[in-house]
Amino acid sequence: MKTIYFVRHGETEGNKGHFFQGPDTPLTDKGRAQAAFIAERVSKLPIEVILSSEMERAKDTAEHISRSTGKLVEFSKFLFERRIPSVQVGSRHNSEEMRHVSREVIANFGKPGGRYSDEENFDDLKERARDALNELAERPENHIVAVTHGFFLRVILAYALFDEKLTPEICVAFLKGGRVANTGLTILRYKHEDHEYFGNSENGWEFWVWNDHAHLG
């Protein structure tokens, strides 16, 4: 049996300023305070290891958790945020040009091999979510913190719920309906005890907690 504590990174300058982020976007002062709050909360959990995206905002959040728990941070090649078109990085969300690009990205999202330019599409993200969950399932530790990003975390959760039945349409509905707060805590359990009536999910994953951010007050 295994428990994964997913943490979205703290607030960034990109979140605050509403622009598309690259890998090096730093946390704001508020984001660092949020990271300290979630670190204090996680220190009360039976954590064995911290896995993190290598993007700066996730690394900074993971380091707060490391200092609070005394656990070292390891980096995962699967937990980084969705790769967006290069042309969008550093641009405002609401500019007319970027709105056009976003519409094209959405239009191509579920088409086999479809892309606007160099972004990840649905097939790329589904494969990476599968790889991320497999990495977590195969780790020897039973209590793992995974520091990641809002968009990709929702894809992971959608895949955990639907497995290979996940379609572009279901994924888009999940992305629209399931938001995640900065430093929100989401917990998945893997291969816990069988349920009395319906049994476990086919792939062994189950939701336990969704986007708990009570530590933010």
Residue 53's domain comprises 2-82+120-216
Residue 108 located in a structural domain: no
Residue 42 located in a structural domain: yes
Separation CA 9–CA 13 (nearest Å) = 12
For 38-94, how does the pLDDT look when each residue is reduced to its tens digit (9 = 90+)?
999 999 999 999 999 999 999 999 999 999 999 999 999 999 999 999 999 999 999
**Would you state the pLDDT for residue 203?**
83
Residue 4 three-state SS? strand
Separation CA 52–CA 40 (nearest Å) = 17
Q: How many domains does the chain have?
A: 1
CATH of the domain at 145: 3.40.50.1240
For 3-54, how does the pLDDT look when each residue is reduced to its tens digit (9 = 90+)?
999 999 999 999 999 999 999 999 999 999 999 999 999 999 999 999 999 9
**Would you state the pLDDT for residue 217?**
82
Mean pLDDT score across all residues of the chain: 94
Amino acid occupying residue 207? F
Residue 159 three-state SS? helix
Query: Would you report the helix, strand and coil content of the chain in percent, each value rounded to 5?
Result: 45, 20, 40
